[in-house]
Amino acid sequence: MKERRDLSDLVRTEIRDGIGWVTLDNPPVNATSTAVRAELLEAVGKVQRCELAVLSCAGKTFVAGGDMSEFDAPPQEPHLPDVTTALENSATPFVALMHGNVLGGGFEIAMACAFRVARPGTRFGLPEVNVGLIPGAGGTQRAPRLLGWEMAFQMACLGKTFTAEALFAAGAIDLVADNPEATIAQFKGHTPERVSERAIAPIPPSEIARFKAQAREFAKGRAAPLHNLTALTWASQPFAEAQPKERALHLELRKSEESIALRHIFFAERAVTRPATLQGIAPHDLAHIAIIGGGLMGSGIAAASLIAGYKVTLIERDRQAADAARATVTKLLQGALDRGKITRSAFDAQIDALTTTDTYEAATDADLAIEAVFEDLDAKRAVFAALTRVVGPQTLLATNTSYLDPNAIFAGIDKPERCLGIHFFSPAHIMKLVEVVKADHTGDHALATAFAFAGKLRKTPVLAGVFDGFIGNRILSAYRRAAEYMLADGALPQQIDAAMRAFGMAMGPFEAQDMAGLQIAQANRQRQDATRNPDERYVTISDKLCDMGRFGRRAGAGWYAYPDGAKTGQPDPLVDELIAAYRHENGLTPCSFSETDIQTQLLAAMANEGARIVDEGIAENAAAVDVVKTSGYGFPRWRGGPMHWAETIGMSEVRSALDALEAASPGSWQRAKAFQNGHN
Ligand code: NAI
């Protein structure tokens, strides 16, 4: 067992040749915890007789932020502004010697130093905006003075990071060097003007309008980007007046719902992508990935795997389909090249690493095979039968099925511990979420390998058990059902979509269905016909649209009309009539729903289904549900996910919303334990 580190080890001070070398060592990212801040202050005191002091960090990065785990409690002294003030006022000038990431509090510290030097490629940023905050130790006040308004705006309000080279070009750092230690002595005897004392002209009014528009566009309902802009504008006031205002706003925002939700998701993602049950289990090394089915999903998975550096064999039904799949993957890689995500030489290497074929032989030495053929049990079973004839017993076998039962897909396969679901989301080369599905016989090694693989693809893996729709699509079904009941009872698609967008969803439930295609939901309903509880209400409006060939955007019409190939749908009087006719036929008197009614009831339906999924052990915990919805379904991160939403709004609100849903559609909802009336 590792010994507990002595706290005094967090910051080491050594004095050599008149230079004080202060080294911060708080793995993994040298976060500025209370103990670190206290020791840094002490270290500033220790070097006061030196000619120069150097502040650097051990490990793979400079300070990459504050210790967010401390943000829920009242702040403890010494505060970060105490440290930055001490560094800036130090009689011995400080050189910040940086590598890795210099983020948030780390950059605030660097800006308070007299000099800044960095290794090539070091990245700088003020990502507080991403967790609903503004910097709290002079970041918004020093950044414009040091970087100019434009760069400071992009960093603080849009969360952008910049390289050492870009900062050097902007005059914000003194030196970029491979071996910066060797250059330190040149700073002896110089005392530059403090950054906080530099004069800066106010932002020109025309720029303010542009900044505001850009920040609002980026915010998509969040408040933090605009708070950052407000704090930046204070920088044209004297630092001593403006900095306390920044600090006060930072502390106030720590308690905001937005920041609490974003911090919840930040920690949830870290926990969920490293499940406790898989700790200490070494993943298999993967080099060669076989993908069977090169349609929409298979091509996206292939592109993501190639970009992650794997050799990929893509198997299609025939030569023509294989060629088509090759063209699709090439197009996706070309897109990544055009967007600057990959270099030309990486693109060339990835094209070389791709084999497209209509035979299984090329997959003989694959380490992992992912099936993405049609959503049909027999087709999938045939794929695995063919695969197991050519691959070795070690090859992991994964299905990308959305709704079929992996246990049925893998029935009879030798060594079933290597079989699992790896469920990607469309478009697979972009969407972060991956549900790693544990079938009855899946072994932990297979799961750990799938988690490592998803991590290599820079995705967010979440462990899921077997159930129709796993975690995400099961919640989606409940959400859609609630939305369709609401249509029948008085709301219109455009009203529901607008309400959910106002809540912060990327799209409302009906426009999202139009985009994906109504036939997917229809196929699900048809599959569920056999097992659906006979008491459950079934609204047929969606089926009627399908009967009319209104399958959504690609078909030119769905819940909305898309005249002349329009991308955004327009409310269609024909759909309104269809809904009115349905109400009439079923003797329903339409009632009115406020925006809040719509939001609360639909979110309660989601949270209830999420809680049931946790009750049944399909998801490990509520955090997993939140990560699934925020990383795969357009649920706003700054709302923290449906389970966090339920906690924020409170049990009694959720229960009343469920009461309303049940009263409108008796026998159609089953409650999770936590939301049962009378349950604590
Ligand atoms: P798709 O229809 O675009 O692609 C399926 C491809 O598989 C076609 O190119 C077809 O030629 C090929 N194929 C069929 N049988 C084959 C065989 N025996 N051997 C080799 N290739 C064969 O379908 P899509 O959308 O890519 O879906 C594939 C799977 O992924 C399905 O199980 C689906 O449920 C699942 N999925 C789909 C998502 C979506 O948004 N479309 C999201 C997540 C999972």
Which atom of ligand 1 is found nearest the CA of 373? 7
Strand order in the sheet with 161-163: 101-103, 123-125, 161-163
Tokens read off for 560: 């909305």
AA identity, residue 193 = E
- 3-state secondary structure at position 264: helix
Exposed/middle/buried for 67, CB within 10 Å: 0-12, 13-18, 19+?
A: middle
| Share in percent of the chain as helix, strand, coil (round to 5) | 50, 10, 35
Indicate if 108 belongs to the active site: yes
**What is the per-residue pLDDT for 680?**
55
Going from the Cα of 400 to the center of ligand 1, the distance in angstroms, rounded, reads 9
Which atom of ligand 1 is found nearest the CA of 325? 9
What is the maximum span of the chain, computed from C-alpha positions, in angstroms? Answer: 91
Which atom of ligand 1 is found nearest the CA of 424? 43
Which atom of ligand 1 is found nearest the CA of 426? 40
Residue with tokens 């990212």: 29
Going from the Cα of 296 to the center of ligand 1, the distance in angstroms, rounded, reads 7
Q: How far is CA 397 from CA 205, 291, 325, 388, 516, in A?
A: 60, 10, 21, 9, 27
The answer for residues whose C-beta is within 8 angstroms of residue 428's C-beta and 6 or more apart is 296, 297, 299, 300, 301, 303, 304
Exposed/middle/buried for 412, CB within 10 Å: 0-12, 13-18, 19+?
A: exposed
Exposed/middle/buried for 435, CB within 10 Å: 0-12, 13-18, 19+?
A: buried
Query: What is the CA 336 to chain-centroid distance, rounded?
Result: 19
AA identity, residue 474 = R
pLDDT < 50: residue spans in the chain: 1-7
Going from the Cα of 380 to the center of ligand 1, the distance in angstroms, rounded, reads 10
Give the residue whose CA is nearest to atom 12 of ligand 1: 293
Tokens read off for 200: 């800066």
Distance between CA atoms of residues 273 and 266, nearest Å: 11
Contact (CB, 8 A) for 95 and 114:
yes
Give the residue whose CA is nearest to atom 9 of ligand 1: 295
**What is the per-residue pLDDT for 295?**
95
Nearest 5 degrees, angle CA 578-CA 579-CA 580? 90
Test site for ligand 1: of 374, 405, 435, 474, most ligand atoms within 8 A of the Cβ: 374
End-to-end CA distance of the chain: 40
Q: Tell me the whole-structure pTM to 2 decimals.
A: 0.92
**What is the per-residue pLDDT for 81?**
97
Give the residue whose CA is nearest to atom 15 of ligand 1: 373
AA identity, residue 478 = A
Q: How far is CA 459 from CA 179, 297, 372, 431, 602, in A?
A: 34, 15, 18, 8, 28
Which atom of ligand 1 is found nearest the CA of 294? 9
Torsion on CA atoms 596, 597, 599, 601, rounded to nearest 10: 150
* Backbone CA torsion sign across 46, 48, 49, 50: positive
**What is the per-residue pLDDT for 187?**
95
AA identity, residue 670 = Q
Contact (CB, 8 A) for 453 and 436:
no
Nearest 5 degrees, angle CA 502-CA 507-CA 512? 150
Q: How far is CA 388 from CA 11, 284, 396, 422, in A?
A: 56, 19, 10, 18
Going from the Cα of 295 to the center of ligand 1, the distance in angstroms, rounded, reads 5
Which atom of ligand 1 is found nearest the CA of 399? 32
Give the residue whose CA is nearest to atom 31 of ligand 1: 375
Residue of 405, 417, 416, 395 whose CA lies nearest to 375: 405
Q: How many CB atoms lie within 10 A of CB 301?
A: 27
Going from the Cα of 414 to the center of ligand 1, the distance in angstroms, rounded, reads 24
Going from the Cα of 358 to the center of ligand 1, the distance in angstroms, rounded, reads 15
Give the residue whose CA is nearest to atom 39 of ligand 1: 426
Give the residue whose CA is nearest to atom 14 of ligand 1: 373
Contact (CB, 8 A) for 123 and 136:
no
Going from the Cα of 404 to the center of ligand 1, the distance in angstroms, rounded, reads 13
Alpha helices in 339-422 (DSSP H): 344-352, 377-390, 406-410
Spell out which residues line ligand 1, taking CB within 6 angstroms.
292-298, 315-317, 321, 372-375, 379, 383, 400-402, 424-426
Going from the Cα of 372 to the center of ligand 1, the distance in angstroms, rounded, reads 5
Indicate if 128 belongs to the active site: yes
Distance between CA atoms of residues 605 and 503, nearest Å: 15
Residue of 357, 373, 371, 292 whose CA lies nearest to 322: 357
Give the residue whose CA is nearest to atom 4 of ligand 1: 295
Q: Which of 3, 39, 42, 108 is catalytic?
A: 108
**What is the per-residue pLDDT for 527?**
85
Q: Which of 14, 42, 88, 128 is catalytic?
A: 128
The answer for residues whose C-beta is within 8 angstroms of residue 258's C-beta and 6 or more apart is 132, 222, 223, 224, 638
β-strands 52-57, 19-24: how paired? Answer: parallel
Nearest-10 crossing angle of helices 595-615, 651-664:
100
Contact (CB, 8 A) for 653 and 503:
no
Give the residue whose CA is nearest to atom 44 of ligand 1: 402
